[in-house]
Amino acid sequence: MKLKKVLLATTNAGKVKEMKRLLGFYGIDAEVPDEDLRIEEGSSSFLENAYLKAQAYWERYRKPTLADDSGLVVPALGGYPGIFSSRFYSHEYGGKEEVIATKDDANIRKVLRLMKEVKDRRATFVAFLVLNLGYSGYWSKGECNGVILTEPKGSGGFGYDPIFQPEGSEKSMAELTPEEKDLLSHRGKAVRNLMSIIKNGGLT
Ligand code: IMP
């Protein structure tokens, strides 16, 4: 049986756009849920959070569901923002940051503030995917290593893209074309890994 359509367990516009593009390459249509279930991410791991999201959307819609839990891991910040990436601005660690424009912008300001005097600027974007088919399931992972820049550059992508420069690139993630980002990104790698696990969309 071939996988033709999945429900994305997210309403995050940045993720949805990338997922639609990445899955479209394999002839898989990505459907967006009509409600945000606001899953309590109670666990301490990306994989478990992805599982919780995939399970909750499966329970609600009973359709093949694909969840992504992802984030930016910075060793010099003890692994933060990590699983707290989407709401790092409001986390106690390092003090809270006021939301003036967008949450993404507040998250970026907080990372730059905490990294101001820091020499070790290594960082890794991590994505875990969980595909819930009800009767079975699959998971995959993708990583993208790079460094944290000293100021934001570019306007593409979403989240922390303007302050992250992938290894081997002269540009920030937000300066890459969508196709260039897909090739290097944690999400691109995680989708390709998942597709090779389920044999390019065929669930044999
Ligand atoms: P989640 O919805 O709990 O998985 O949170 C993901 C968060 O990690 C996003 O809101 C972003 O802040 C960050 N993130 C994940 N993937 C990316 C990416 O590709 N670019 C920039 N930020 C990302």
Question: What pLDDT, on a 0 to 100 scale, did the predictor assign at position 198?
Answer: 93
CA of 71 to the centre of ligand 1 (A): 5
Question: What pLDDT, on a 0 to 100 scale, did the predictor assign at position 200?
Answer: 73
Question: What pLDDT, on a 0 to 100 scale, did the predictor assign at position 30?
Answer: 97
Question: What pLDDT, on a 0 to 100 scale, did the predictor assign at position 89?
Answer: 98
CATH number corresponding to 5-200 = 3.90.950.10
- The answer to whether the beta carbons of residues 93 and 76 sit under 8 Å apart is no
Specify the DSSP class assigned to residue 81: B
Residue 37 sits at the vertex; the CA angle it makes with 13 and 31, to the nearest 5 degrees, is 50
For the entire predicted model, the pTM comes to 0.96
Cβ 142 under 6 angstroms from ligand 1: no
- φ and ψ of 168, to 5 deg: 85, 0
Cβ 160 under 6 angstroms from ligand 1: yes
Which tokens sit at 46?
A: 């990306």
Cβ 70 under 6 angstroms from ligand 1: yes
CA of 133 to the centre of ligand 1 (A): 24
CA of 74 to the centre of ligand 1 (A): 14
Q: Which of 18, 69, 85, 107 most suits a substitution to test ligand 1, by most atoms within 8 Å of the C-beta? A: 85
Q: Can you tell me which atom of ligand 1 is nearest the CA of 185?
A: 19
Question: What pLDDT, on a 0 to 100 scale, did the predictor assign at position 43?
Answer: 78
Contacts of 80 (CB under 8 A, 6+ apart): 74, 88, 91, 93, 94
Among 11, 131, 117, 161, residue whose Cα is nearest residue 65: 131
Specify the DSSP class assigned to residue 202: B
Give residue limits of the domains in the chain.
5-200
Which tokens sit at 154?
A: 């570019």
Question: What pLDDT, on a 0 to 100 scale, did the predictor assign at position 204?
Answer: 54
Nearest CA owner, ligand 1 atom 14:
71
Nearest CA owner, ligand 1 atom 11:
159
- C-alpha span between 60 and 11 (Å, rounded): 15
Question: What pLDDT, on a 0 to 100 scale, did the predictor assign at position 2?
Answer: 87
What percent of the chain is predicted at pLDDT more than 90? 90
**Residue ranges of the chain whose pLDDT lies below 50:** none
Question: What pLDDT, on a 0 to 100 scale, did the predictor assign at position 38?
Answer: 80
Q: Which of 10, 52, 86 most suits a substitution to test ligand 1, by most atoms within 8 Å of the C-beta? A: 86
Task: List, by residue number, the catalytic residues.
Answer: 69
CA of 159 to the centre of ligand 1 (A): 6
- φ and ψ of 102, to 5 deg: -125, 165
Strand order in the sheet with 137-148: 29-31, 5-8, 65-73, 122-132, 137-148, 164-166
CA–CA distance from 184 to each of 176, 197, 202 (Å)? 10, 19, 24
- C-alpha span between 202 and 10 (Å, rounded): 23
